Structure 1
Amino acid sequence: MADNKAKYRTEIQQMMFVSGETADPSLETTTMIENIVQQQVIEMLTRATALAARRGTRTITTDDLIFLIRHDRAKVSRLRTFLSWKDVRKSAKDSDDKGAGGGADGVDEFDLGGNDPTLGTGPAVGTRNNKNKKAKVGLPWDVSSFYSEQVPEREDEEDEEEEEMTAATLERLRQADERTRGMNAAEYLHFSECRQASFTFRKGKRFREWAGFGVVTDSKPNDDIVDILGFLTYEIVTLLTEEALKVKASEDATKVEGGDEEKTGRKRRREPGLFDAPEEARKPVGPRHIQEAFRRLQEPELKARYMSHIPKGSWQRPLKLI
């Protein structure tokens, strides 16, 4: 970036804190994360614009963005759930504006849990009713869209995407429970506020300029496209942070074992003693951890490595969306 300062440093720090980072990351680290996220957003807009051009239009749609991540079925399912509850909230707000009110229809205000749908996907228990039911977001490449007659949905029916989303949701809820286990009321309040961090919420104009609308694509984004990009940017920061923490943990473990081996000549790790000095506070992840995490997330899937040993001249593997 021109000014070498992260415009979204506060938001990135909050997202990293929710993802497990407790220390204060440096400006260089947050700037590197922002550059990676910006690169990913520009790549998504470029590919979505190409998909729209193949349809003979210059306007990208929500389906174009979802199509780019179609292979990550758990993420697609979380995104569809996010959009479904967004539609419910909009419908409930419209009913209140018309004078129906929450008391008449039994609709209470609820929170979408920021861009993290695994920690808050809709109304609290007891606030959902039949009138404002979560609608299912259909996709043009779903098998059901190939037929004019639609099979009625069953409430107890779950597809593979929902099962994968449920497993990912339970894992994130478990991690969030471990991170908040020892927090007091003030710390948990701060954690809840950090969950609301977003690149797009109340920052629409700045985000459009930052993402390259008008430069990368001539399409004018609607609210749904901006919300989808806000959801995906949250996911990118979360994945980078979690992977960087794994890199740092492995590096710290190697340093401890290597240090003991140099001092004692043994490979056995010495257990801390009763009168040993307290360990230093955990240091934040650095740029090298983020860079290694990004490299790992860019590794191709096994099916994409087929015949990769054959020389391809100057061919380079395209950027992988994370």
Structure 2
Amino acid sequence: MADNRAKYRTEIQQMMFVSGETGDVSPETTSMIENIVQQQVMEMLKRATDLAGRRGVRTISTDDLIFLIRHDKAKVSRLRTFLSWKDVRKSAKDSEDKGGGGGDAAGGIEDFDIAAADPTLGSGPSVGTRNSKNKKAKVGLPWDVSSFYSEQVPEREDEEDEEEEEMNAATLQRLKQADERTKGMNADEYLHFSECRQASFTFRKGKRFREWAGFGVVTDSKPNDDIVDILGFLTYEIVTLLTEEALKVKAAEDALKRDSGGADDEALKGRKRNRVEPGLFDPPEEARTPVGPKHIHEAFRRLQTPDIKSRYMHHIHKGNWQRPLKLI
């Protein structure tokens, strides 16, 4: 297990770099992130196995995993889009193998990478195009209202539901952030950034990921390719959220240090120095330092903060009851 953790260090560094971190992250930081991601994945498998048991089966399905993140509509929508494009890619490959005009069919999705699901940060079509022959199909979910009826309303081309609107807003925000991060890059730096966007826990590492995630230990279910790909998408999201939140923690800490003028904690209790703006001939500021384990720890603590509805009647004493792990 330790050998597998060491091999994932590069992938975590690349994911953090794309999320706004520097390219020089300490092994302690990457190890802490990997432990958090592994804990999250094992918790997902445990809950998905419980859901499958309620249905009277032993094998978990893609619906069980999607059900765990159902409250994050934007993430669910991106995941459904990913699964739809993956089906298009598979159909195009099958038609190409059978000699049924696969050259034209695969033309718009040759660059489709199933390492993760977000087209802005990792997987998805790096050059995403649609055509009439390869239109992605919408992935239905058992708890959708439309699934309760035998007759389905025909979909329109210009119709977008609430989840797609939230997904588009989140995607545009990430595209804006990526544009800001790459604004001053040269060609070589941007090439490295593009390569880091393809980092994944699962892409071409399926067997190693199954052992690392706890298949056969946490659950007896044998995962198919869709299960592994969904977990690859979710692990990418976890690293991204942890990195972005840790950067906020570090930014607040750095701002406090600048405002205090480097004073120690005892001095800060009694007074607070005014911030001194750099002069014309002052030396340049030090290079930005990467986040550390303490920033990751605080970021994880913040992400574990329960929602308002989850804190209902939390003031009532519950003995030794411990709040369950929150999926991020």
Query: What is the CA–CA distance in structure 2 between the aligned matches of 1:123 and 1:247, rounded to whole Å?
Result: 31
Of 155, 158, 167, 1:156 maps to 158
Kindly provide the CA deviation profile for residues 193-250 of structure 1, in whole angstroms up to 9, marking residues without a partner as x: 0010000011011000000001110000000000000000000000000000000000
Query: What is the CA–CA distance in structure 2 between the aligned matches of 1:104 and 1:154, rounded to whole Å?
Result: 25
Structure 1 residue 23 displacement after superposition:
3.7
Query: What is the CA–CA distance in structure 2 between the aligned matches of 1:317 and 1:151, rounded to whole Å?
Result: 42
Structure 1 residue 101 displacement after superposition:
4.2
Partner of 1:14: 14
Of 300, 309, 317, 1:294 maps to 300
Question: 2:92–2:106: 8 Å Cα contact kept in structure 1?
Answer: no
**Correspondences of 1:1-322 after superposition (within 5 Å):** 2=2, 6-105=6-105, 107-108=107-108, 109-112=110-113, 114-119=115-120, 121-122=124-125, 124=127, 127-259=129-261, 267-322=273-328
- Which of 234-243 and 276-285 deviates more? 276-285
One-letter amino acid of the counterpart of residue 231, structure 2: L
Question: 2:259–2:272: 8 Å Cα contact kept in structure 1?
Answer: no
Query: What is the CA–CA distance in structure 2 between the aligned matches of 1:308 and 1:66, rounded to whole Å?
Result: 27
Question: 2:117–2:233: 8 Å Cα contact kept in structure 1?
Answer: yes
Q: Structure 2: 5+ residue runs without aligned partners?
A: none
Q: 1:23 to 1:276 in 2, by over 3 A?
A: farther
Counterpart secondary structure, 1:29? helix
Question: 1:59–1:220: 8 Å Cα contact kept in structure 2?
Answer: yes
Query: What is the CA–CA distance in structure 2 between the aligned matches of 1:228 and 1:24, rounded to whole Å?
Result: 28
Structure 1 residue 104 displacement after superposition:
4.5
Question: 1:200–1:207: 8 Å Cα contact kept in structure 2?
Answer: yes
Structure 1 residue 292 displacement after superposition:
0.2
Query: What is the CA–CA distance in structure 1 between the aligned matches of 2:115 and 2:5, rounded to whole Å?
Result: 24
Structure 1 residue 260 displacement after superposition:
6.1
Question: 1:107–1:129: 8 Å Cα contact kept in structure 2?
Answer: no
Structure 1 residue 100 displacement after superposition:
2.9
Query: What is the CA–CA distance in structure 2 between the aligned matches of 1:291 and 1:260, rounded to whole Å?
Result: 23
Question: 1:77–1:162: 8 Å Cα contact kept in structure 2?
Answer: yes
- Which of 97-106 and 307-316 deviates more? 97-106
Kindly provide the CA deviation profile for residues 96-153 of structure 1, in whole angstroms up to 9, marking residues without a partner as x: 111134445473423247415241643736x422121111000000000000000000
Query: What is the CA–CA distance in structure 1 between the aligned matches of 2:255 and 2:197, rounded to whole Å?
Result: 30
Counterpart secondary structure, 2:207? helix
Structure 1 residue 47 displacement after superposition:
0.3
One-letter amino acid of the counterpart of residue 124, structure 1: V
Query: What is the CA–CA distance in structure 1 between the aligned matches of 2:155 and 2:233, rounded to whole Å?
Result: 27
Query: What is the CA–CA distance in structure 2 between the aligned matches of 1:80 and 1:37, rounded to whole Å?
Result: 22
Query: What is the CA–CA distance in structure 2 between the aligned matches of 1:266 and 1:222, rounded to whole Å?
Result: 58
Identity rate, percent: 79
Q: 1:114 to 1:202 in 2, by over 3 A?
A: closer
Q: 1:110 to 1:306 in 2, by over 3 A?
A: same
Q: 1:260 to 1:295 in 2, by over 3 A?
A: closer
Please give the TM-score of this superposition, normalised by the length of structure 1.
0.94
Query: What is the CA–CA distance in structure 2 between the aligned matches of 1:203 and 1:121, rounded to whole Å?
Result: 17
Question: 1:4–1:31: 8 Å Cα contact kept in structure 2?
Answer: no
Q: 1:25 to 1:260 in 2, by over 3 A?
A: closer
Query: What is the CA–CA distance in structure 2 between the aligned matches of 1:213 and 1:46, rounded to whole Å?
Result: 10
One-letter amino acid of the counterpart of residue 304, structure 1: S
Q: 1:4 to 1:100 in 2, by over 3 A?
A: closer
Counterpart secondary structure, 2:313? coil
Please give the TM-score of this superposition, normalised by the length of structure 2.
0.93
